[in-house]
Chains A and B, each alone.
Chain A
């Protein structure tokens, strides 16, 4: 007789669930590190646009006849991030307007290219993603992405944080803001693009934003902010994964609902 039988652990018997759990444990710190700075920099809309731009990346990959569209998606995302950074630097248009325009354009272009001949349904999985299909090879990709981000955030987090607090102040401290901001947008672009196949472009931004937004309501300083973001991201991730198994729902969206729950909780717990 198993004394732990009452616990909902049967999901763990499945290989795909164990892979998905590992994916979430890798993605939570990755998304947490990024999300905390995305909110600081008011780039919430940017990361959303990067997710949506994946459609065009996929279309370009398909047009080029690539079996795996990921290289085309990543290149396109980096290009787009560069364009947005340059427009932001040299144009007087508001950043949210620029991003809105580019998001509308890339979604439309992607849909047009992918729907040629009525084949869009084949790509619908990118809309909601599927973490349960993640392969061991892709897990290694995700781990590599986490390692690279950790290394970059080790060296550049403080500078990015300071730029996001006040640009003039950052310049006066000799921080090279354009280089730093370019690096930041590139990392966000790559991480969002790589993750979109597992999370889905409709919900990926919520996973980046919600844990950080919740942690923001509770944290008293930046160390606890990042730590709480990762903790919430991880808890919502595991809870969402297990629930989606029993409820037979899409994992990404289920995780988002948990993250939203944490956000509401954080608002209620928020210090006056």
Chain B
């Protein structure tokens, strides 16, 4: 199990820089539900402007990690955000979230504009939607290339459109950290490509930290700065070309078994175990 110091060393090795400027930190982060330890001893620094992909077998705790970071389930350890202006400013990060495969009631009357109005406006929806919210929503929808769906009903959007609308929603107000839980599940290749390009551009434009849970290795390699392999704790962590060309990861990703990719150590080549 790496302790925090080891982790920093590894991290600096991988990224070539320390956690300076703004970043999100998880320190000794863990989740235990009904006596089952789902996550333990997670120590991560996620830098602003960095796109990190979280991979791992089913049941590894990827979605749990996100839910704990959102405050939906309790966690141990610390989650904090360090602002650009100084290392002392630890606060809870403002988190934007796009959940996994959102199930929307097909009979819902919610329009895309309603989604934005419900979270951005004090005016209750039954008293109408303000022009201010409409403009705000349009601006964000343009960011994801979907300004033509403003007045459509949410239930009529395709899966890919809905994910992009939710992405636009998660950017308003602008978060410190953006969590995307398998946002591309169920999308076709063109949709995935568009989604990744959008996310990649947003990250540069707004200097966002982005964490994506994904199994889609081919697309990941093109946009990710870093891949974290998770199985109840951080198993390995590095640049995509390093992690993806790793023989154990290749084996795991071609047939997802219970193999573990052993932690990269900065001193020498990684050692493996089954």
Chain A stretch 169-209: residues in CB contact (< 8 A) with chain B: 169, 171-173
User: In the bound complex, how far is the Cα of B72 from the Cα of A215, in angstroms?
Assistant: 33
Of A154, A220, A221, the residue contacting B124 (CB under 8 A) is A154
A225 touching B104 in the complex, CB below 8 Å, given contacts A169-B97, A173-B119? no
Chain B residues contacting A215 (CB-CB under 8 Å) are 109
Chain A residues contacting B129 (CB-CB under 8 Å) are 221, 223
User: In the bound complex, how far is the Cα of B180 from the Cα of A169, in angstroms?
Assistant: 12
- Any B CB within 8 A of the CB of A45: no
Chain B stretch 68-109: residues in CB contact (< 8 A) with chain A: 70-72, 95-97, 99, 102-105, 107-109
Verify B126–A171 contact, CB threshold 8 A: no
Question: Per-residue 0/1 for B121-138: is the Cβ within 8 Å of any A Cβ (1 yes, 0 no)?
Answer: 110111111000000000
CB of A105 to closest CB in B, whole Å: 28
Return the chain A residue nearest B72 by Cβ: A171
Q: Which of these binds chain B: A67-75, A123-131, A160-168? A: A160-168
Chain A residues contacting B71 (CB-CB under 8 Å) are 171
Chain A residues contacting B121 (CB-CB under 8 Å) are 158
User: In the bound complex, how far is the Cα of B71 from the Cα of A54, in angstroms?
Assistant: 38
Chain A residues contacting B119 (CB-CB under 8 Å) are 158, 162, 173
Verify A166–B102 contact, CB threshold 8 A: yes
Verify B110–A169 contact, CB threshold 8 A: no
Verify A168–B153 contact, CB threshold 8 A: no
CB of B2 to closest CB in A, whole Å: 29
Return the chain A residue nearest B103 by Cβ: A166
User: In the bound complex, how far is the Cα of B153 from the Cα of A216, in angstroms?
Assistant: 12
CB of A202 to closest CB in B, whole Å: 26
Verify B102–A169 contact, CB threshold 8 A: yes
A168 touching B99 in the complex, CB below 8 Å, given contacts A33-B126, A157-B126? yes
Chain A residues contacting B97 (CB-CB under 8 Å) are 168-169, 172
Chain B residues contacting A33 (CB-CB under 8 Å) are 126
Return the chain B residue nearest A212 by Cβ: B109
CB of B268 to closest CB in A, whole Å: 41
Chain B residues contacting A220 (CB-CB under 8 Å) are 109, 111, 151, 153
Chain B residues contacting A236 (CB-CB under 8 Å) are none
Return the chain A residue nearest B123 by Cβ: A158
CB of A31 to closest CB in B, whole Å: 14
A221 touching B151 in the complex, CB below 8 Å, given contacts A166-B99, A172-B70? yes
Question: Per-residue 0/1 for A142-168: is the Cβ within 8 Å of any B Cβ (1 yes, 0 no)?
Answer: 000000000001110111011001101
User: In the bound complex, how far is the Cα of B102 from the Cα of A84, in angstroms?
Assistant: 26
- Any A CB within 8 A of the CB of B113: yes
- Any B CB within 8 A of the CB of A227: yes
Verify B118–A158 contact, CB threshold 8 A: yes
Return the chain A residue nearest B126 by Cβ: A226
- Any B CB within 8 A of the CB of A243: no
Chain B residues contacting A40 (CB-CB under 8 Å) are 105, 108
Return the chain A residue nearest B100 by Cβ: A168
Verify A168–B67 contact, CB threshold 8 A: yes
Return the chain B residue nearest A42 by Cβ: B105
CB of B158 to closest CB in A, whole Å: 17
Of A42, A155, A221, A227, the residue contacting B110 (CB under 8 A) is A221
User: In the bound complex, how far is the Cα of B108 from the Cα of A215, in angstroms?
Assistant: 11
- Any B CB within 8 A of the CB of A219: yes
- Any A CB within 8 A of the CB of B252: no
Chain B residues contacting A173 (CB-CB under 8 Å) are 119
- Any B CB within 8 A of the CB of A222: yes
A165 touching B107 in the complex, CB below 8 Å, given contacts A172-B95, A222-B126? no
CB of B91 to closest CB in A, whole Å: 14
Verify B111–A221 contact, CB threshold 8 A: yes
CB of A223 to closest CB in B, whole Å: 5
Of B103, B104, B122, B125, the residue contacting A222 (CB under 8 A) is B125
User: In the bound complex, how far is the Cα of B113 from the Cα of A155, in angstroms?
Assistant: 19
Verify B110–A161 contact, CB threshold 8 A: yes
Chain A residues contacting B111 (CB-CB under 8 Å) are 220-222
Of B102, B115, B127, the residue contacting A223 (CB under 8 A) is B127
CB of B157 to closest CB in A, whole Å: 13
CB of B104 to closest CB in A, whole Å: 7
Of residues B95, B121, B126, B166, which shows the largest number of chain A Cβ atoms within 10 Å of its Cβ?
Answer: B126
Of B96, B105, B110, the residue contacting A172 (CB under 8 A) is B96
A-B contact pairs, 21 of them (CB 8 A): A153-B124, A154-B124, A154-B127, A157-B124, A157-B125, A158-B118, A158-B122, A161-B118, A162-B118, A165-B104, A166-B103, A168-B97, A220-B109, A220-B151, A221-B110, A221-B111, A222-B110, A223-B127, A223-B128, A225-B109, A227-B126
Residues of A within 8 A of B (CB): 33, 36, 40, 42, 153-155, 157-159, 161-162, 165-166, 168-169, 171-173, 215-216, 219-227
